Amino acid sequence: MNLPAAKVIDITLPIFEKEVLQRSLETPVLVDFWAPWCGPCKTLGPTLEKLANEFAGAFVLAKVDIDQNAELADAFGVQSVPTVVLVSGGQVVDGFVGAQPEAKIKELLARNGVGAKPKVDAVSEALEFEKQGALEKAVQHLRNHVVMGGGDARARAQLARLCALAGRTDEARKLWDGLPPDEKESEPAKVAKSLLDLAAQAGDLAPLEAAVKKAPKDVKARLALGRGLLAAHQHERALEELWTAAQTDLAFEGGEPKKALLETFGLLGEEHPLTKQYRRKLSVLLCS
């Protein structure tokens, strides 16, 4: 059947069968019989709606105004309001009469196997995709979250960083420019800015590659090529060149190869597969 997701629905007789009975075959439905003139209903209603949102779709709250739907009230034998019944599998399985505290309502839900669904953190999910090496998937996932209205400053800062890392510099720049001043000081925003500044320095790689080909042991040339490749978003090749420079002469110009590698790790992030790979190699080199 796959009815559209909902948390709170106003019920009338024509839609009762579909929105309560049929829906309860998939998701428990908590039916709140209430009336505009009922004082306790005004206390209970907000509590039920709060729980419906807190439980994030684990149950649906169906609100029935008995003044407008006397037939439904009669069918359920409602004697007074508020009356609340839990419908699951097309049948009433539990309920209560009168305003109840939040804890009691949670007890009713729990004993019927209705549990709160944990809120999904889109930023954490995107970072997990990035950790797995699926950068484009991470970008798309977080972009969808931002477009759908979940774009708080934290999410937009991370999206700016991911876009910059993926070479989507125009999108990253627009996101970074739109961040509040305080968020621009966050670590993701700072990394995004560094990546954008680096991308602005991107140039023709041909002369850098020619210099390395001409003098393979020239550490300065290797470093220049590595940084040029990094600016061009060729991360794996960039690390290969920087690693070769470190192997050739780790102490060159006061440890410039090590510095270049560490800067790259910072830009890619500690969870990036390339960072993990080359950090291990650098550790071995440092200990040798």
The Cα 269–Cα 52 span in angstroms is 38
Identify the CA nearest to 22 among candidates 77, 55, 62.
Answer: 62
**Which residues contact residue 74 at a Cβ distance below 8 angstroms, ignoring those fewer than 6 apart?**
none
Identify the CA nearest to 62 among candidates 95, 32, 18.
Answer: 32
The Cα 60–Cα 65 span in angstroms is 16
Q: How, if at all, do strands 8-10 and 60-65 pair?
A: parallel
Q: Is 163 a catalytic residue?
A: no
* Among 31, 38, 81, 159, the one annotated catalytic: 38
**Alpha-carbon distances of 278 from 45, 225, 282, 284, rounded to whole Å:** 57, 17, 6, 10
Q: Name the token pair of 91.
A: 């049948």
* Among 41, 62, 81, 164, the one annotated catalytic: 41
Q: How, if at all, do strands 83-88 and 29-34 pair?
A: antiparallel
What are the percentages of helix, strand and coil residues in the chain, rounded to 5?
Answer: 60, 10, 30
Q: Name the token pair of 177.
A: 């420019």
Q: What residues are labeled active site?
A: 38, 41
